[in-house]
Chains A and B, each alone.
Chain A
Amino acid sequence: MKWSQFFNTSIGKKLLVGATGLFLCSFVIVHLTGNLTLLKDDGGEAFNIYAAFMSHNPFIQFLAWGLKIIILLHAIIALQLTFRNRAARPVKYAINPGNQTSSWFSRQMAIMGSILLIFILIHLKDFWYVMHYGELRPVTYEGKEYKDLYYAVYEAFKVLWVVVLYVIGMIGLSFHLVHGFKSAFQTFGLNHVKYNGLINFVGVWLFGILIPIAFAIIPVFIYFKSI
């Protein structure tokens, strides 16, 4: 079997969605760790130095472009599968079982993923674009000049609807990962009573609850600090 065939079946495509999804889960942890420096009461020094490192280190730059490709790959293949899945039932049921046979989260993956994709595009425009191609006021730490992204973030989150948008994005992340994390393991064939409990726990509590809340705290905290 050729590799092109291997990744072109329904299972092959799901393996790609699962693998890219788990990679994105690991990215979410890294991104959160960096972002939490925004909450540090140091006028933005830690965050601005971190942001400068992330946008200049060549290895990180390579990863960052890879990340964007992986997000696109994850979204495109998942949407392709979703449309195919919808087409597999041309005549719909008059009555659906709802939550009687499956969890609500497991049925909303495409919707939550789409919310997340739109959020990511807005988020890239808000901060990644201005950091790389926009105008930011300079700030100096120990004689070295940095772009003051911290200031831009604090300005952005003074606006209530921006904060609401970011919280909605994080609800999308939460609902997507409650099912998505453990689902990827099942797709890889990793289903065993000895580990299922742990996989479920990490998926629901770490990726589904703790991480989205920690992300969402940042805009909410900044908003309340500004009023």
Chain B
Amino acid sequence: MNYQLDGQEVPADEEGYITNLSDWSKDLAEVIAKEEGIEMDDERWEVVNFLRDYYDEYQIAPAVRVLIKAIKKTMGPEKGNNKYMYELFPYGPAKQACKIAGLPKPTGCV
């Protein structure tokens, strides 16, 4: 399942995770989000940017439990909880946000 951006084809796997991490851009993130039925706003960008930073630092996309705990640690409990995160990304905060962030499927996500 590939994405279309500015007339270019961006390769992705059958679940919609992009094949080359370097293909990612903010514009592509918007395209992937639309495909997921998600409208990007400041709150969602905050999570997507957080995931990209996490990947930069640790070279993995965290599992949902780990993501929520890490968000709780850096942004506080009002954001680091299941309810808030599932409101932003109804089909799984780690899965959907990682996909939009251009990262691989979360490790420990089965």
Physical interaction between A and B: no
Interface residues of B (CB under 8 A from A): none
